[in-house]
Amino acid sequence: MAKSDAIPAPTVRRLSLYLRQLELYRETGLRTVSSKQLGESLQLTDAQVRKDLAVFGHLGHPGIGYRVEEMIGRIRRILGTDRVWNVALVGAGNLGRAFASYRGFITKGFNITAVFDADPSKIGTVMPGADPVVVQPVSELAATIGLRNIDLAILAVPMSDAQAIADQCMQAGISGILNFAPMALRVAPGATIINVDLAVHLEQLSFRVCELRR
Amino acid sequence: MAKSDAIPAPTVRRLSLYLRQLELYRETGLRTVSSKQLGESLQLTDAQVRKDLAVFGHLGHPGIGYRVEEMIGRIRRILGTDRVWNVALVGAGNLGRAFASYRGFITKGFNITAVFDADPSKIGTVMPGADPVVVQPVSELAATIGLRNIDLAILAVPMSDAQAIADQCMQAGISGILNFAPMALRVAPGATIINVDLAVHLEQLSFRVCELRR
């Protein structure tokens, strides 16, 4: 296997897309797939697919293509989702409550095991979800993260609080933060932050609709 | 300008990233930027940046680079976000309520002008947001979409309802749907659907954390 730090960021983004498509294939009972089929499903050239999948060595079998189950396992190992991650959710507002019950997280190995909020009226309430969790005050964040072996945090807090909360998380030992406040956050050494802008999806939709009308 | 249907899907995805980065540059007062600077901010090679931006003709100025303001305008025209889109939101649950008040949508030209839900206890309630909207029953979806010149819909409904709601939207004249139910939906001719899987962001985070530890 190639060293993973040699994998370019755009390829890593596409690995998630391949994984999702392969899981769909598995659901329909398909056991092997060609780079051409994968590419067509994802609007990529088959050359791109082959190049991306070559990052973890030869996997295509001549005359057979890629084995769906084998590929799913390999991509999950690369992405680090062949294990369960304990995740802290900060922010028990509308977005936070939606995440707590989002089925897509738990089926992919992300387990929200602690929820924090600064609002006294939310503390002590139970969040929805497969494994209901009681909302704790933000003051308990550091101690809880250490005790429960939590590595990742999802921030669903107002923009004005996001940097301070991120700093507290990183000081408490969180390695990775997914930030949904529409702003870029400063990251501490030894940690990583992904800033998600939900409007990007609407922009892609807008482009496609314009294209349909041309 | 090249015909937009000649722009490959991965390039379109990167245009959103360039736009976001250019808007950040603008906030800091930067007026010109090189392909190298843009690439470094987004973990892309400068060759990739130049290739992507060449899709809408020569824009780099020798010895100056790209003009930030000019580029923002060009990319917004390509993406179709140089205008305001009226958007219908279906689903007034936690995710829907979060979207209704998400600042990133309105600042990018996406205006949620109607909200629908099937739950009688939600109908008639007021959604949060810049421009508060009253929740209507799904039975009013078709008539409202026609009356209010709505082109796009965001689906924040349970998986079991998503396909039926998407079909109703497309029959009512919606051209583009952003679907947050973690499943792929069938699309009617003349329309387009983007299925968003929020777990993808967590997978990218997981990869980066694993990389930090290697």
Q: What is the pLDDT of residue B58?
A: 62
State the nearest Cα–Cα gap between B189 and chain A, in angstroms.
10
The mean per-residue pLDDT over the stretch B95-116 comes to: 90
Q: What is the pLDDT of residue B24?
A: 87
Q: Is the pLDDT of residue B2 over 60?
A: no
The mean per-residue pLDDT over the stretch A102-130 comes to: 91
Residues on chain A touching B12 (C-beta within 8 angstroms): 204, 207
With an 8 Å Cβ cutoff, is A188 touching chain B? no
Q: What is the pLDDT of residue B70?
A: 92
Q: What is the pLDDT of residue B8?
A: 79
Calculate ∠ Cα B89-A42-A209, nearest 5°. Answer: 40
ipTM attached to this prediction: 0.90
The mean per-residue pLDDT over the stretch B18-38 comes to: 92
**pLDDT band at B5, cuts 50/70/90?**
low
Question: What are chain B's domains?
Answer: 4-77 (1.10.10.10), 85-199 (3.40.50.720)
Put simply, the answer to whether B198 touches A104 (Cβ < 8 Å) is yes
Other C-beta atoms closer than 10 Å to the C-beta of A126 total 11
Q: What is the pLDDT of residue B1?
A: 39
Q: What is the pLDDT of residue B107?
A: 83
With an 8 Å Cβ cutoff, is B175 touching chain A? yes
Alpha-carbon separation of residue B195 from A28, A101, B8, B13 (angstroms): 18, 18, 18, 14
With an 8 Å Cβ cutoff, is A6 touching chain B? no
CB B87 within 8 A of CB B113: yes
With an 8 Å Cβ cutoff, is A176 touching chain B? yes
Scanning every residue of chain A, which has its alpha carbon at the shortest distance from the alpha carbon of B112?
Answer: A202
Put simply, the answer to whether B205 touches A198 (Cβ < 8 Å) is no
Which amino acid, residue A52?
D
Among A89-103, A160-174, A181-195, B100-114, the range with the most confident prediction by mean pLDDT is A160-174
Sequential DSSP letters for B160-197: HHHHHHHHHHHHTT--EEEE-SSS-----TT-EEEE--
CA distance A52 to A133: 39
**% pLDDT > 70, chain B:** 96
Put simply, the answer to whether B80 touches A194 (Cβ < 8 Å) is no
Residue from B26, B198, B212, B214 whose CB has the most chain A CBs within 10 Å, to mutate: B198
| Tally: H helices and E strands in chain B | 9, 9
Put simply, the answer to whether A80 touches B44 (Cβ < 8 Å) is no
Residue from A3, A48, A198 whose CB has the most chain B CBs within 10 Å, to mutate: A198
Task: Calculate the average pLDDT of chain B.
Answer: 90
The mean per-residue pLDDT over the stretch B63-77 comes to: 91
**pLDDT band at B176, cuts 50/70/90?**
very high
Scanning every residue of chain A, which has its alpha carbon at the shortest distance from the alpha carbon of B212?
Answer: A190
Task: Calculate the average pLDDT of chain A.
Answer: 90
**pLDDT band at B103, cuts 50/70/90?**
confident
Alpha-carbon separation of residue B110 from A94, A202, B93, B132 (angstroms): 19, 8, 20, 14
Which one-letter DSSP state was computed for residue B65?
A: B
The mean per-residue pLDDT over the stretch B165-178 comes to: 97
Q: Is the pLDDT of residue A5 over 60?
A: no
Size of interface A-B (CB pairs under 8 A): 202
State the nearest Cα–Cα gap between A206 and chain B, in angstroms.
6
Report residue B28 as tokens: 């800091």
Put simply, the answer to whether B8 touches A43 (Cβ < 8 Å) is yes
Q: What is the pLDDT of residue A2?
A: 40
Put simply, the answer to whether B20 touches A204 (Cβ < 8 Å) is no
**% pLDDT > 90, chain A:** 64
- pTM for the whole structure: 0.82
CA distance A35 to B78: 30
**% pLDDT > 90, chain B:** 64
Q: What is the pLDDT of residue B99?
A: 92
CB B136 within 8 A of CB B145: no
- Which range has the worst mean pLDDT, A58-67, B1-10, B159-168? B1-10
Better-scored residue on pLDDT, B65 or B121 = B121
Which residues of B, range 106-125, sit inside 8 Å of A by Cβ?
107-108, 110
- Which range has the worst mean pLDDT, B6-10, B165-169, B209-213? B6-10
pLDDT in tens, A182-207: 777 889 999 999 988 888 899 999 99
With an 8 Å Cβ cutoff, is B40 touching chain A? no
Other C-beta atoms closer than 10 Å to the C-beta of A148 total 11
- Which range has the worst mean pLDDT, A99-103, A157-161, B65-69? A99-103
pLDDT in tens, B116-147: 999 999 999 999 877 789 999 999 999 999 99
SS3 state of residue B73 = helix
With an 8 Å Cβ cutoff, is B46 touching chain A? no
Other C-beta atoms closer than 10 Å to the C-beta of A75 total 22
The mean per-residue pLDDT over the stretch B179-185 comes to: 85
Which residues of A, range 126-155, sit inside 8 Å of B by Cβ?
128, 151-152, 154
Chain centroid to Cα B179, Å, comes to 11
